[in-house]
Copies of this chain bind each other. A is one copy, B any other.
Amino acid sequence: MPDMSLLPVTERTRHRRLREQGSTDRRDLEDILRAGVICHLGVMVDGYPMVVPTVYGLTGDTLYLHGSVASRSLVSAPQATICVTVTHVDGLVLARSVFEHAVNYRSAMIYGTPRLVTEREEKLAGLRSLTEHIVPGQWDYARRPNKKELAQTSLLALCLDEASVKIRRGPPDDGDSPDAALPVWAGVLPLAAAWQAPVPDPVLPAGIPLPPHIASLANRPAGMRVGS
């Protein structure tokens, strides 16, 4: 029986290079996806690759993508392999030599053939996951999609079975090389993202309070971890 805590290795997800950066731990995949705000969706359109930034949702082992039914990237996606990549940049690795410069990062690339969701209950659950992914509590707070809005929205489901996870952490790699004798500062410049203070809509009527589930996000780290 396969170890379900490990990601299966396929021809596409086998780590060919820089193998020390590859992870097959399913928890790493989940952590990276949970911490992300947007993904980059790669899809073939008219014979060329198109890389589109978009939000996503997660439920169990499924990733959801949505868009207008008129979107070229979504219309092209079903019945073809897509690649969804989520990346967190945690810092710059400043080595003694230019050649050893690197980025501390966490990334997940998911391959698969997405499924167009047509069943109403799954569509609502998928859209809920998209909203709740970034602002938990917002699905129950804001007005939910009506029938017309649901019809205008396409939802794609992508199984998380085939994923390649790469992580780089820590200091530069040339600390034990001849370059370590150079009088050059080496280390990491960490990068961190954080939610700022909410900005009310200028036309928001007075007396509508900021709900706690939004207020609690302010000044909290978002996605990128302070890496080193």
**Contact A189 to B201, CB < 8 A, known contacts A17-B70, A87-B38:** no
Number of interface residues of A (CB under 8 A): 98
Bound complex: CA A138 to CA B197 (Å): 34
Please tell me if A163 contacts chain B, counting CB pairs below 8 Å: no
Q: Which of A92-138 contact B (CB under 8 A)?
A: 92, 94-99, 101, 103, 105, 107, 109, 111, 127, 131, 134-135, 138
Within 8 Å CB of A195, what residues of B? 189-191
Within 8 Å CB of A198, what residues of B? 94, 187-190
Please tell me if A202 contacts chain B, counting CB pairs below 8 Å: yes
Within 8 Å CB of A99, what residues of B? 143, 145-146, 149, 152-153
Shortest distance between the CB of A141 and any CB in chain B (Å): 7
Number of copies of this chain that the complex holds = 2
Please tell me if A2 contacts chain B, counting CB pairs below 8 Å: no
Which listed residue, B94, B172, B209, touches A185 by the CB 8 Å rule? B209
Within 8 Å CB of A209, what residues of B? 185
